[in-house]
């Protein structure tokens, strides 16, 4: 496919996403199934155009004066990819499979359109209803942080030290030009292509042999801050696909008892293959659905040394990776997540032995899901749970970059170069 044909496809997909209010991944998959002639390189390039368009949806629409797929793509090419009017016009030339030529109005918008007077939700490409919460966190740095959230995320991997060191992984992946991650001593960062596409790591022999996992540096840091120790009983309460369970197993050299579970058994499905590949020792407890559902952790109540709660959240800290998620976010989804967080924190508290540690993690930037969730648990526990400062000593250099909140620490793309992870540490009152 020509570059112009790829742009036509991206416009079609953006219009489909807007009309049907569906996830971008679903729209891209359906387009690919309906256009089987498109090769993997074409599909990757189209996906990159679509996701870049979603990253700049509000600002591109503001510059172009309308919110259509075509307007968003044209505005994005200028704002996100820095193309001049002449370069954009060459892609919109009306040739076969190309979009129709630019109109005089579009040319004028490209020449004169500006974000100088745009409101922050437009200039920062964010839903307006979360701005007050983000302003509470970021203050005067709001627009700087929002723009960082609009950039592409890097591609990070975590060396699985159960099998080989970071240096050894770097050596075998030398042809991919990996660099050590700035903060995590376990990570490597791989360069992306101009289209935002990274190497096919999931078929790399080192990956298939368990030598590394694909994991954002922020997630690696959260695992390090959990403070897991050999000999402990540790519960990963919202384990999902098991990324942090695997990291904890490696950090403790497989010398801790790690129990992984999740309220949604479907989310646990990938963990078994990942465990086989990595050599990590983790006990997986999968809850049953329906009327037969039982508490799979009841036997551990009051005995656990450390509980990691990587809570379900709005994912506002991952907008670099999931730009369509921010436009599908609604106030009702936030309130639903807050209720889930309260439930899972209360369950975690019951697991702790006296003096045990609870580490609360989200990939959210919203104080309602972070400090406020911790405050809620402290109130409900009536003194049985206490907040303590998170020890940052396991991640040299983090203390100078992280944003401290009243109950924890907040990472963000602009400050730490990671996804927007929040970490808070609590303890159960000793007997």
d(CA 364, CA 410): 9
Question: What is the token pair recorded at 304?
Answer: 């656990």
Helical packing angle, 131-138 and 142-149, nearest 10°: 110
Domain termination site, one of 71, 92, 118: 118
Question: What is the token pair recorded at 403?
Answer: 């944003």
Judge if 107 and 247 occupy the same domain: no
Judge if 278 and 394 occupy the same domain: yes
The string of pLDDT tens digits covering residues 2-59 is: 999 999 999 999 999 999 888 999 999 999 999 988 888 899 899 999 999 999 999 9
313 counts as catalytic: no
Domain termination site, one of 90, 118, 146: 118
Residue 145 lies in a domain: no
Quote the pLDDT of residue 41.
Answer: 86
10 Å Cβ neighbour count for 183?
21
Residue 62 lies in a domain: yes
Question: What is the token pair recorded at 197?
Answer: 């596409």
Residues whose CB is less than 8 angstroms from the CB of residue 238 and which lie 6 or more positions away in sequence, other chains included:
262, 263, 309, 310, 311, 312, 344
Mean pLDDT of the chain: 94
Residues annotated within a binding site for S-adenosyl-L-methionine: 262, 310
Residue 326 lies in a domain: yes
Judge if 113 and 222 occupy the same domain: no
Judge if 420 and 274 occupy the same domain: yes
Domain termination site, one of 118, 153, 178: 118
Residue 127 lies in a domain: no
Q: How many domains in the chain?
A: 2
Quote the pLDDT of residue 292.
Answer: 60
Judge if 370 and 227 occupy the same domain: yes
Helical packing angle, 40-55 and 57-64, nearest 10°: 70
Residue 181 lies in a domain: no
The domain that contains 360 carries what CATH number? Answer: 3.40.50.150
d(CA 5, CA 377): 53
Q: Output phi, psi for 401, to 5 deg.
A: -115, -25
Residue 154 lies in a domain: no
10 Å Cβ neighbour count for 393?
11
- Percent composition of the chain: helix, strand, coil (DSSP 3-state, to 5): 50, 15, 35
Quote the pLDDT of residue 133.
Answer: 95
197, pLDDT greater than 90: no
Quote the pLDDT of residue 431.
Answer: 63
Judge if 113 and 231 occupy the same domain: no
Q: Which of 363, 365, 395, 398 is catalytic?
A: 363
The string of pLDDT tens digits covering residues 237-293 is: 999 999 999 999 999 999 999 999 999 999 999 999 999 999 999 999 999 866 667
For tokens 């903060």, the residue is: 183
CB 360 within 8 A of CB 424: yes
The string of pLDDT tens digits covering residues 121-160 is: 999 999 999 999 999 999 999 999 999 999 999 999 999 9
d(CA 423, CA 33): 41
Residues whose CB is less than 8 angstroms from the CB of residue 257 and which lie 6 or more positions away in sequence, other chains included:
232, 233, 234, 283
d(CA 266, CA 268): 5
Question: What is the token pair recorded at 389?
Answer: 């400062």
177, pLDDT greater than 90: yes
**% pLDDT > 90, the chain:** 90
Judge if 113 and 221 occupy the same domain: no
What predicted TM-score, i.e. pTM, was given to this entire model? 0.93
The string of pLDDT tens digits covering residues 200-253 is: 898 999 999 999 999 999 999 999 999 999 999 999 999 999 999 999 999 999
147, HSE (Cβ side, Cα atoms, 13 Å): 9
Question: What is the token pair recorded at 384?
Answer: 């049985």
Give the residue-averaged pLDDT of 379-403: 94
Question: What is the token pair recorded at 130?
Answer: 């979360």
Quote the pLDDT of residue 290.
Answer: 62
Alpha helix ranges (H) inside 214-265: 217-225, 243-251
Three-state SS at 235: strand
d(CA 239, CA 216): 16
Residue 393 lies in a domain: yes
CB 240 within 8 A of CB 215: no
Residue 40 lies in a domain: yes
Quote the pLDDT of residue 124.
Answer: 95
Q: Output phi, psi for 358, to 5 deg.
A: -115, 125
User: Contacts by 83-90 with C-beta closer than 8 Å and gap 24+?
Assistant: 85/110, 85/111
The domain in which residue 38 lies consists of 3-118
The string of pLDDT tens digits covering residues 305-325 is: 999 999 999 999 999 999 999
CB 221 within 8 A of CB 421: yes
Judge if 114 and 239 occupy the same domain: no
């Amino acid at each position: 496919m020509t570059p112009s044909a790829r742009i036509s496809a991206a416009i079609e997909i953006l219009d489909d996403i807007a009309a049907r209010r569906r996830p971008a991944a679903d729209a891209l998959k359906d387009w690919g199934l309906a256009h089987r002639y498109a090769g993997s390189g074409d599909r990757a390039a189209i996906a990159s155009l679509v996701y870049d368009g979603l990253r700049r949806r509000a600002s591109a629409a503001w510059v172009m004066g309308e919110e259509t797929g075509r307007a968003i793509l044209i505005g994005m090419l200028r704002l996100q990819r820095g193309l001049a009017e002449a370069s954009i016009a060459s892609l919109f030339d009306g040739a076969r499979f190309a979009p129709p030529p630019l109109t005089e109005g579009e040319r004028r918008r490209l020449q004169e359109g500006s974000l100088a007077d745009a409101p922050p939700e437009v200039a920062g490409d964010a839903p307006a209803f979360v701005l007050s919460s983000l302003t509470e966190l970021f203050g005067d740095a709001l627009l700087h942080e929002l723009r960082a959230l609009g950039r592409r995320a890097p591609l990070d991997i975590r060396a699985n030290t159960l099998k080989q060191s970071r240096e050894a992984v770097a050596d075998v992946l030398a042809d991919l030009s990996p660099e050590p991650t700035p903060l995590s001593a376990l990570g490597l960062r791989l360069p992306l292509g101009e289209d935002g596409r990274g190497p096919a790591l999931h078929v790399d022999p080192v990956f298939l042999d368990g030598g590394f996992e694909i994991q954002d540096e922020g997630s690696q840091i959260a695992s390090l801050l959990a403070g897991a120790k050999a000999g402990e009983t540790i519960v990963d309460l919202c384990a999902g696909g098991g990324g942090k369970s695997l990291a904890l197993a490696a950090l403790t050299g497989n010398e801790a008892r790690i129990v992984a579970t999740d309220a949604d058994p479907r989310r646990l499905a990938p963990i078994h293959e990942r465990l086989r590949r990595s050599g990590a020792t983790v006990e997986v407890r999968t809850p049953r659905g329906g009327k037969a559902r039982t508490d799979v952790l009841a036997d551990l109540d009051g005995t656990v040394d450390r509980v990691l709660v990587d809570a379900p959240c709005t994912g506002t800290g991952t907008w670099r990776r999931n730009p369509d998620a921010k436009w599908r976010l609604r106030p009702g989804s936030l309130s639903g997540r807050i209720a889930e967080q309260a439930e899972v924190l209360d369950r975690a508290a019951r697991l702790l032995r006296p003096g045990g540690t609870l580490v609360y993690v989200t990939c959210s930037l919203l104080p309602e899901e972070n400090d406020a969730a911790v405050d809620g648990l402290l109130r409900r526990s009536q003194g049985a749970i206490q907040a303590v400062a998170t020890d940052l000593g396991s991640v040299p250099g983090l203390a100078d970059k992280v944003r401290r909140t009243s109950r924890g620490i907040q990472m963000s793309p602009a400050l730490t170069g990671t996804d927007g992870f929040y970490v808070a540490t609590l303890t159960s009152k000793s007997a």
